[in-house]
Amino acid sequence: MKDKQNFEDDLKKLQKIVEELSSGSLSLADALKKYEEGIKLSQACSQTLSEAQRKVELLMKKDGKFSLEKFDEPKEEK
C-alpha cells in the first residue's frame, strides 16, 4: 500500500505547481509534466476532503444527541 501523503503537503505542492505554470517560464514538455502532477495532486486533495466530509456527516445530531456511526474507509483506487 502506498503511503498517504499529508493533505497540507499536497496542497502546498499544488500551489507551487500553479505558480510555476502561471509564470509562463516552463517549456511545453515541463509544463505538461507539471500539469499532470497537478491533476494527480488535485484528485488526491479532493478525495481527502471528501473522506473528511463523510466522517463529519457521521457525527450529525440525531434526536437531540450526537452519535457516532461506524465508518468504513473507502478502498484506494489504483
Find the length of the chain: 78
**Is position 21 within any domain?**
yes
pLDDT at 3: 45
* pTM attached to this predicted model: 0.67
The rounded distance, in Å, linking the Cα atoms of 51 and 31 is: 30
The pLDDT tens digits for 10-62 are 999 999 999 999 999 999 999 999 999 999 999 999 999 998 888 877 776 66
Angle subtended by helix axes 28-57 and 7-23, to nearest 10 = 150
**Is position 47 within any domain?**
yes
pLDDT at 75: 64
How many domains does one find in the chain?
1
pLDDT at 2: 43
The boundaries of the domain holding residue 11 are 7-58
The pLDDT tens digits for 64-74 are 666 666 666 66
Shortest CA distance to 45 belongs to which of 78, 12, 3, 2? 12
**Is position 77 within any domain?**
no
**Is position 71 within any domain?**
no
**Is position 75 within any domain?**
no
The rounded distance, in Å, linking the Cα atoms of 36 and 7 is: 18
**Is position 43 within any domain?**
yes
